[in-house]
Amino acid sequence: MPREEALITAFVELADTLVEDFDVIEFLNRLAGHCVSLLDVEAAGILLTNPQGRLHLIAASSEKARLLELLQLQGYQGPCVACYTERRRVDYDDADLQAPVTNLPWPRFAKAARQEGFRSVCALPMRHNGQVIGALNLFRTEAGVLDDRNAMLGQALADIATIGILQERASRQREILAQQLQHALDSRVIIEQAKGFLAHRLQVSLDDAFKALRATARNGNRKLVDVALQVVTVPGSAIPRHPIADPAGEDS
C-alpha cells in the first residue's frame, strides 16, 4: 500500500473509537503497528495511565519492546517514563557502542537496550488540552535522533489516539451517569407509589407515610427503595404506623 494510503487508513482507524465493542488494547496495538509501518522505527510500545495515574504497558509491537517497557516501569526510569512525567518529547541515543553504559542516561535501560539491539528511542507524550494519559515510544536499531518529519507524524498519531481514548472514556462516563440518573428516577417513582399505598392503608398523611418508610429502612439497615418496593409488591408488608423520630438529613 502506498504510504499516503497507509496514512489515511491509520488516521481513519484511530479516529474510530466510538463503537459499541471498542477495545482499547486492540486499538493501541493497531497504533503500535501503524507506527512501525509508517515511521522510520523497528518497534513501538505504549504506556497508559490508569485512573489513579499509574503507568501500565498496554501495547507493544514486539517482545523486545515489551521487555524494555516493563524494565522502565519496574524501576520507573527511562526515556518513556521521563516523557510521561516531564510531559514532553524525550530522545535517547546510544551513538557510541564502545562507551560504557554508565556514561549514558538511565544506565540500566541503556544496558538492556543494547542487549535487545536498540540504539535510540523517541518517546512522545499522549496528551490533549494539557492532559497527559501516557507515552508512545518508538524504538530504533540505528543510532541517531528520529528526524523531525517522522517525529511529527508520530506525535500526530499519538494525538489522535489520545483524543479517541478520551472521547471513549467520556462517552462511557456519560452512559454511566445516565444509567445512575435513570435508576434514581425509577427509584423515586417506586417510593412515591409506596408513599401513596401506605398512606391509604394506614390512613395517615403522605408525610407520615414517608417517615414510616424511612424509619423502617433505617431500622432494618436497608435501602429506602427496597422497602418501598416491598410495600408495593408484597401485600400486607409490616410497616409501623408510628415510626420513631426520623433524623434530619437522611438520604431518601
Residue among 151, 6, 135 nearest 65 (CA): 135
Is there a contact between 69 and 58 (Cβ–Cβ < 8 Å)?
no
17 three-class SS: coil
pTM of the entire structure?
A: 0.69
Segment 37-44 mean pLDDT? 93
Mean pLDDT of the chain: 85
| pLDDT score for 1 | 63
Give the pairing type, strands 120-128 and 90-93: antiparallel
User: What does each C-alpha distance from 125 to 88, 109, 128, 135, 238 come to in angstroms?
Assistant: 6, 19, 9, 4, 61
**What is the DSSP-derived secondary structure letter of residue 101?**
G
Calpha distance 218→105 (Å, rounded) = 61
Residues 162-195: tens digit of each pLDDT:
988 888 777 777 777 777 778 878 888 888 899 8
